[in-house]
């Protein structure tokens, strides 16, 4: 409709043509972006549905029995046991938590126990020994602790050849900006 107005109007000049091209370009960009985001959203939803359906089609573990597989009158003690490794997925990474406060240690255990193998220590000296024995993938340590503080523990870990590659995260509840 705008185009018809510009063509029939007697006040046709080069600026009018530039304005018309600008309006048309903005309109096309808006339409193309709208279509792009609609299809992008549909692609994501289709991908999610595809993975959900693939999960449902996977066969169950061969050692698992359903109710219909059990013959009537048989004892449950005769059933084959599912190995513990098949029931739980093996946690691949080990995390060492060095913390002197029990509440914080338990909170960190609650957060990380589902995804990591955990080693716990109450002070820096015990933590350094466990780091040398277990060689964890990551160490989270408090700074202010009895027996050995976090800085000394971190220094010993980084100087030891077997543990120097382990990343260390230092935690502290201290209100000071610099420690």
Comparing 7 with 30, the larger pLDDT belongs to 30
DSSP state of 177: S
pLDDT at 169 over 60: yes
pTM above 0.85, yes or no: no
Tokens of 121: 């220590």
Contacts of 23 (CB under 8 A, 6+ apart): 2
* pLDDT value of residue 142: 87
* Torsional sign, CA 125, 127, 129, 131: negative
Q: Of the ranges 64-68, 155-159, 161-165, which one carries the lowest mean pLDDT score?
A: 64-68
Each residue's pLDDT tens digit, 97-111: 998 888 888 888 888
Average pLDDT estimate for 77-95: 58
- Count of residues in the chain: 179
Average pLDDT estimate for 71-80: 48
Each residue's pLDDT tens digit, 27-58: 888 888 777 666 666 555 445 445 544 554 45
* Strand locations in the chain (E): 94-98, 117-121, 138-142, 168-171
Tokens of 116: 């990591």
Comparing 101 with 61, the larger pLDDT belongs to 101
Each residue's pLDDT tens digit, 106-157: 888 888 888 888 999 999 899 999 999 988 888 888 888 888 888 899 999 9
From the candidate CATH numbers 3.40.640.10, 3.40.50.2300, 3.40.1010.10, 3.80.30.20, the one assigned to the domain spanning 84-171: 3.40.50.2300
SS3 content of the chain, % helix, strand, coil (to 5): 50, 10, 35
Comparing 2 with 15, the larger pLDDT belongs to 15
Domain ranges of the chain: 2-57, 84-171
């Amino acid at each position: 409709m705008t185009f018809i107005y510009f063509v029939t109007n007697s006040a046709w000049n080069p600026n009018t043509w530039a304005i018309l091209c600008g309006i048309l370009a903005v309109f096309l960009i808006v339409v193309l972006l709208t279509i792009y985001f609609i299809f992008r959203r549909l692609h994501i939803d289709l991908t999610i549905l595809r993975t959900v359906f693939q999960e449902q089609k996977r066969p169950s573990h061969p050692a698992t029995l359903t109710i219909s597989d059990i013959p009537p009158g048989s004892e449950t003690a005769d059933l084959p046991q599912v190995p513990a490794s098949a029931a739980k997925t093996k946690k691949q990474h080990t995390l060492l938590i060095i913390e002197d406060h029990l509440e914080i240690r338990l909170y960190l255990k609650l957060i990380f126990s589902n995804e990591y193998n955990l080693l716990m220590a109450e002070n820096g000296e015990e933590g350094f020994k466990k780091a040398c024995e277990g060689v964890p993938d990551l160490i989270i340590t408090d700074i202010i602790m009895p027996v050995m503080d976090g800085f000394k523990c971190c220094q010993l870990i980084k100087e030891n050849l077997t543990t120097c590659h382990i990343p260390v995260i230092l935690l502290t509840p201290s209100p000071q900006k610099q420690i």
